[in-house]
A and B are shown apart, each in its own frame.
Chain A
Amino acid sequence: MIQTLSYYLGFTFVQYALIAGLLISLCASLLGVTLVLKRYSMIGDALSHVAFGAMAIAAVCSFAPMAVTLPVTVIAAIVLLGVNSNSKIKGDAAIAMISVGALATGYLLMNVFSVSTNISGDVCTTLFGSTSILTLTKSDIILCTALAVVVILVFILFYNKIFAVTFDEGFAGATGTNTRLYNNIIAVVTAVVIVLAMNLVGALLVSALIIFPALTAMRVFKSFFSVIIGAAVISVGCSLIGLLVAIIYGTPVGSTIVVTDIAAFAVFSIIGKIKG
């Protein structure tokens, strides 16, 4: 087992994939805490479906996937978060509509226009990630890493503002904080994280990567800062275990990581119960 591992880890592309994967998990967990606390979990889910639809379009037109998914998802994020804060429109219905709409359109496009001989294989790969992070090209990996670093920097620089608009948007707005600006920053960063995370775990499992570490940390930790740090550590740890298991046993990367996240959630729930 150790030998298989060290054999694979000898390849530079595996090392790069590991680094990119861990950075992506870190981003997803940082943002996940805010999304869960703002009650935006479903928006994350809808955005991942939008990203899937955009990916289908990119595949059909043979564009670079990221060049299409990133802008489309960013726009969808700003629209969705805007709709949600406008109480006049039924937020959850709009979200569900966009979510399934994008999924259906994406699948239809891939089915009708795809030139590939293995359509269901392609769809499955996009939805569940399979081993895609290990098959990314070097330039993709570099792009992922760069975006992940930018997301982490944005998060650190705006940490206090993100806390304020997450905890009590009304107060923050009343005392002169530009809540709309920071909500849009959160929206854009969310979109970027979702597109990144799709490379790691596939479109359908993105929300798991975002939500589970946050919920797991919230079982045990009680301040915002400790929840953030806890979620980051849990997420990176689970992804590392998941990636290594996937490499050794050849299991699909995305679902292996998510199952590890679920296991961590179960463990922390029990610890939380015992601690009271």
Chain B
Amino acid sequence: MALIECNNLSLGYEGKPIVTGLGFEVNEGDYLCIIGENGSGKSTLMKALLGHKCVISGEITFDNSIDRKEIGYLPQQTVIQKDFPASVREIVLSGCLNGCGFKPFYSASQKKTATETMKKLGIDDLANRCYRELSGGQQQRVLLARALCATKKLLILDEPVAGLDPIVTQNLYSLIKEINQNGITVIMVSHDMNAALEHASHILHIGHTPLFFGKKEDYLKSDICKIFSVQGGDAL
């Protein structure tokens, strides 16, 4: 059975639908990229996958083999209070929390994971800095490191490269690719068409109704891809 399956799913807020007729499935090891214009409901879909109450009709079925505790998540926007005192290391480590169960403290191996993830994202030298004093891109990398620490089976990313410089962006894409090749399923929202087409195995293109779902190769042949690219897909 597929890891995640939905059929004829409608999402929206307070009874008003935003996307209808959504159907797709995600299998273990897939790299699904979700694309679509602003306001088409991509973030709403991410929230629905994480169990928020955005589902109007239809159902999202998760396979029994996956537990909420094995999901890593990077939201599009994180509202964190301006004056919150927290060091980078504390935040990244908090991503490991879902692996703790009832244990009160982090294990040595979890601390090691956190340190290695910080190294991979180039923020190990910021480990003891205060989060609120970092630049926007640095903050994004910290939250990304936290998401990676929380991931055991599924990684959900909502525009992870927003605000990152080109070098870090490239590193990030290869890091996600590497994670994916290690058997972790990735679902990513992105406006970066080139990267989506380069790395993903599947594409879900949504408007108010799903415009396309399928393998990347098929998407490249579809009309919607051509229209979207011509209309400036690069810039999206």
Contact = CB atoms under 8 A, between A and B. Distances in A.
Interface of A: 37, 39, 156-161, 163-164, 167-168, 170-177, 218, 221-227
Contacts of B105: 159-160
Chain B, interface size category, equals 35 or more
Contact of A223 (B67, B71, B80, B85): B85
Nearest to A159: B104
20 contacts: A157-B104, A159-B104, A159-B105, A160-B100, A160-B104, A161-B97, A163-B90, A163-B94, A164-B94, A167-B80, A167-B84, A168-B80, A171-B146, A172-B97, A175-B69, A175-B97, A176-B67, A176-B69, A176-B70, A223-B85
Contacts of B31: none
Contacts of A222: 85, 87, 130, 133
Contact of B86 (A160, A161, A174, A223): A223
A158 B85 contact: no
Contact of B83 (A161, A172, A218): A218
Contacts, number: 84
Interface of B: 50-51, 67-73, 75, 78-81, 83-87, 90-91, 93-95, 97-98, 100, 104-106, 128, 130, 133, 146, 150
B68 A175 contact: yes
B113 to A, nearest CB: 14
| Most chain B CB within a 10 A radius of its CB, from A158, A161, A224 | A224
A160 B97 contact: yes
A225 B90 contact: yes
Contacts of B90: 163, 167, 223-225
A163 B97 CA distance: 10
Of the listed residues A161, A167, A172, A227, the one surrounded by the most CB atoms of chain B closer than 10 A to its CB is A167
